[in-house]
Structure formats: structure tokens, C-alpha cells
Chain A
Amino acid sequence: MTISGVALLAICTLIGGFLGDLLGAWLGVKANVGGVGIAMMLLIAARLWLARRGALSVGVESGVGFWGAMYIPIVVAMAANQNVVAAVESGPMVVVAAILTVVACFAAVALIGRLSSATETMDEIEARQNAARAEGGAA
């Protein structure tokens, strides 16, 4: 049933929110601490558990999947609710922060690539697979 997926998602989100609030109170930050992240881990665990028991029905998947697919539109609606007028008045900080972040991350990708051992490129993998297929066809 589709509702089981929606209910599972709601239960995970509610438990995550509750634990996040609890963690916040425990840390003394008067805020929800990682509630969404905890809920995500609960949902992953629930999915693995259901799959192992063979109880992961199409209904459950479609109930959760629908809301997962709604995530970008909901983010668009969220963006449309923001106080952009106030943000625009604050000026170039956004541009500077974004550019510096992206440059730093690109540099880190390059650095990790240089530091680690050589690996097969996508072209080499495809060439090898094609060669194996051709050999298999000939044999």
C-alpha cells in the first residue's frame, strides 16, 4: 500500500525530529540538532530491514519515492519564500563566498587525484570492456 511508504517516511521524519530536539536539549543548544540527518539514517535502516525480510513492496517504494521526487519543487517553493530583498541589499558576499568555495573544492579534487595512485580512465574501461566483448564474440 502506498500509505505504508508515506507513513514509514512520516514516522522516520517524526522520530528524527524528536531525537534531534532531544540531542539539542542535551547539548544545550535550544535547537534541533541533525534531526533530518538522523531521520535519513532511520529510513535507510528501515529500507534495508524491509528488503532483507522481503517486505519492500511497490507501494512502500512509491509512497516514499513520490516525496523524494517532490524534493526539488519543494526547494523551489522554499526559495520563493525567502527574504531575498534583504539578501540582495547585503551585496557581493554571496558571489565571493560561492566563487572561493568552488575554487577551493576544484583544487582539492585535483590534489586528491595527484596524491592517489593512477587508475583506469573511463575511456580505458570502455576499451577493455569492448575488447572483452569482441573476444567473447569471436570465441
Chain B
Amino acid sequence: MSDAIALLEHILAANALLTAFAFVGVVMWISAALSRYLTLGRIHGSAIAIIIGLALAFGGGVWSGGKNGLSDIPMLSGIGIMGGAMLRDFAIVATAFEVDVVRARQAGAIGATALVLGTILPFIVGALVAYAFGYRDAISLTTIGAGAVTYIVGPVTGAALGASSAVMALSIATGVFKAVLVMIGTPFVAKAIGLNNPRSAMVFGGLMGTVSGVSAGLAATDRRLVPYGALTATFHTGLGCLVAPSLFFLGVRAIMG
């Protein structure tokens, strides 16, 4: 019996990346079920999956005493490859293929304004909160500010600037918590902020950013608004990844000295 377990451990460790695919697949599947049956679709499955991922990283960190979350467990080292910089950047670039340039132009100046505002505003708020909580170095302030833009911009920025893993985790957690708040909060504030037409949906997508937050939040408000919001939101991460580690970092560094 113990021979069989040893063999199983061996096959899982020897095929680390495949183990990671299977493992993350099961997490996604459980998350989709939780989203459907526990929250009646109000919280997007992907947001639940990311929260589970962070929770597992916590468990992995406590269990192994290491700094790399779940991938410090030998059998699950493939999670480190799957979620590492190479495949992460590869997959993010791939999403640009879905951007429809003609329809994007129709979003017009107001969508672009919202997009720029939606990158600057969260960044400033995030960086100020980080400052208030005692962070003083430009890399940490920029990474946490970028996390307030989206949970992708945060780690991409942090990785580019060489932020510590703890700051990266804070940055991702800020972005994920923001996405969850957008998903849950949108239906309740929709009326007050005039979210009932395509133009305001585009403004909303540009300002709130997170594609999962925007698409789930709008779906819970009015399904017909989803494509308009997603249209501007798809630009959000790309814009953030472009300006956060460059312009914003240089700005923060100039202020902090």
C-alpha cells in the first residue's frame, strides 16, 4: 500500500506541470460550482478560484514554512511553473487577441477618459493607503498602487520592479478584494451611479478595470450591459501594465526621492 502511495507521489512529482493543470482545474471546477450554488452566480467563479488560490498559498506557506505558497510542497511544484512569470505573461498577451479595434473606437473619447482615470485614480488611492500604512520605498508603493488598479497589473508591476513577495501578495490581495467588491457592490449602486445605458457601462468598464469584476458586476445588474463594459475593461490591464512599472514608478520615485 505504501508502495502505491510512493509511486503516486513519484508520478505526480515527475509530471509536475501536468499535476498543476489537474490541480488548478479541480480548483476552478469547485469554484464554478460554489459560484453557481452558494452565491447564485453573484460572485464570479474566477474570483472565488483566486481567493481559494490565495488561501491555499497561505496553507502551503504555513505547512512548508517557505515563501512560495503551495509550490513549496514538492508534489505541487508545478504550480510554480504554471503560475510563474513565463506562462503568466504569455497568457496575458494572448488576451489582447480578443480586443476588437473597430468596436473599441466606437467607445470613443469618453471611454478612453474613463480608462485613463480608472488607472490613475486607483493607483493614487492604493499608493496613499500604502503610505499611510508605513511603506516608504518607491517599489512597494508602486506595486501596491498597481494592485489597486487590477490584480494582474499589481504582480506584473511588482515582478518588473523586483518587489518582495510579501508586497506582491498584498498587491494581488488588494486587486482581488477590489474585484470581489465590484462584483458584489455593482448591482446595489447601479441606480445611483446611472448604470443603465451603453455609454455609462463603457465608462464603468474603464474605471473599475478588473474584467472579472466588471463582467460579473454588470451581469448581476443587467446582462445587456456586459459587452460594453468588457470592451473598455479589456484595455485596462494592458494600459496598467504599460504605465504602472514605467511612468507611475518614475513619478513615485521622483516624489519619494
Please report A residues at the B interface, Cβ cutoff 8 Å.
9-10, 12-13, 16-17, 20, 23-24, 27, 29-41, 43-44, 47-48, 61, 64-68, 70-88, 90-91, 93-102, 104-110, 112-114, 116, 119-123, 125-126
Contact = CB atoms under 8 A, between A and B. Distances in A.
Given A75-B50, A121-B197, A12 B177 contact: no
Given A79-B83, A81-B80, A104 B121 contact: yes
Nearest to A66: B94
Contacts of A68: 91, 94-95, 97-98
A78 B56 CA distance: 11
B181 interface: yes
B189 A106 contact: yes
Interface of B: 20-21, 24-25, 27-28, 46, 49-50, 52-58, 60-62, 67-71, 79-80, 82-84, 87-99, 101, 110, 113-114, 117-118, 121-122, 125-126, 129-130, 133, 144, 147-148, 151-152, 155-156, 159-162, 164-166, 168-170, 172-178, 181-182, 185, 189, 192-200, 203-204, 207-209, 212, 222, 224-225, 238-239, 241-243, 245-246, 249-250
Contacts of A30: 162
B79 A81 contact: yes
Contacts of B168: 82-83
Contacts of A112: 110, 113-114, 200, 203, 207
Nearest to B68: A81
A132 to B, nearest CB: 17
